[in-house]
Amino acid sequence: MIVVDDHDLFRRGLRELLEDQGIRVVGEAANGDDGVRLATHVLPEVVVMDLHMPRMTGVEATRHLSAAAPTVKVLVLTISAEEEDVMDAMMAGASGYLTKDASMEEIAAGVRAAAAGESLISPRIAAQILSRLRERASDVEHPGHADLSNREIEILRLLAHGRDNDDIADALVISPHTVKNHVSSILAKLQMENRVQAAVYAVRRGLA
């Protein structure tokens, strides 16, 4: 994986701590522009990306990477918990979003989730965004056509409440692998890229 952050001490410290967690770090960059250049050359499984950086923001870098190297997953790790930043990052193609007050175990779990094609969002942020969406009760329709099975709707409801695959598996008494397959099917049917977009869809359709 690659670490992209403009704070040298934080970036280097994070690299060391991730390596202590058994995660191989193959490079680092101090801004979004260099991060995109390095990631498209090295093609790591995951890029840990800060948002507010000089020359190119993390959102812009994520958008560039999603287009140029779609196999590279981006985990945003930043100080901002603002709804606009979260939604911009996820809509740009980020696979996960954590704040810098997350524990090292949570960050490592986020990296591993992204590498596995899953999405990990800080529970506090996910709850905050979904709560605001419920308050607004938006009537905006998503262009994707949904033809979800009853089981997929069950999983989508739980996903919209911030439950991860293991929690969903426990609640429905099925395997995490089965949940993962259902989530992939849900995203494909809704024509969406990540779990947050699917959760937004669920709230807007009154499913959560």
Domains and CATH numbers, the chain: 2-120 (3.40.50.2300), 141-204 (1.10.10.10)
The model's pLDDT over 84-93, given as tens digits with 9 standing for 90+, comes to 888 788 778 8
Single pTM value for the model: 0.72
Q: In the chain, which stretches have pLDDT less than 50?
A: 137, 139-140, 142-145
In the chain, beta strands by DSSP E: 2-4, 27-29, 46-49, 73-78, 96-99
The model's pLDDT over 30-61, given as tens digits with 9 standing for 90+, comes to 999 999 999 999 999 999 999 999 889 999 99
In the numeric block, the tokens 């403009």 are attached to 6
In the numeric block, the tokens 């800060």 are attached to 50
DSSP string, 189-205: HHT-SSHHHHHHHHHHT
